[in-house]
Homo-oligomer: A and B are copies of this chain.
């Protein structure tokens, strides 16, 4: 089946608001703490980790790079908690999301990219593609919910999408 082209837009707090939070210093209020030695950008995300006996957990994900074109065929969601990703080497990465609620159709899917200094916090129930790394291997700090219940749904799109190029790598054919 022919894949639908999906273009990416730069992450911003405003554009990403329907799906979650952007963890960044830009456009955030700074507090001066630690006797003047630290600028604190406080409370950057709405973490939602305690539902149904859940607890916050922190992981490192090491992403093994894939090549372009990137086919988007399956989306997933965590119905019981949020999930945050913060890049640990300032490497840009792709974020593929669709609104919370009913299983998404292909045209519900949106693509973003982080500039490498931006993390994301995907809100509870928001559909997303699993974390994809393009280019070099990359590590991410992940903050999500650990708990006894199932916190994972998966949905195969009725028609795949394809990302042909990303700003930091150029196009698949280039």
> Cα distance A34–B146 when bound, in Å?
17
A29-42 interface code vs B (CB 8 A; 1 in, 0 out): 01001111111111
A37 & B133 in contact (Cβ 8 Å cutoff): yes
| Residues in B whose Cβ lies below 8 Å from that of A141 | 23, 86, 119, 141
Partner of A58, one of B25, B45, B55: B45
* Residues 1 to 54 of chain A near chain B (Cβ within 8 Å): 23-25, 30, 33-45, 47, 49-50
A43-84 interface code vs B (CB 8 A; 1 in, 0 out): 111010110000111111111101000000000000000001
* Total number of A residues with any Cβ neighbor in B under 8 Å: 48
Partner of A39, one of B33, B44, B64: B64
> Cα distance A40–B141 when bound, in Å?
10
Partner of A130, one of B30, B38, B50: B38
> Cα distance A30–B57 when bound, in Å?
16
Partner of A89, one of B42, B50, B90: B90
* Residues 88 to 138 of chain A near chain B (Cβ within 8 Å): 88-90, 117, 119, 121, 130-133
Residue of B nearest to A41 (CB): B60
> Cα distance A121–B22 when bound, in Å?
23
B90 & A63 in contact (Cβ 8 Å cutoff): no
| Residues in B whose Cβ lies below 8 Å from that of A63 | 37-38
| Chain A residues packing against B (C-beta within 8 Å) | 23-25, 30, 33-45, 47, 49-50, 55-64, 66, 84, 86-90, 117, 119, 121, 130-133, 139, 141, 143, 146
4 closest Cβ contacts across the A-B interface?
A34-B130, A39-B62, A41-B60, A56-B56
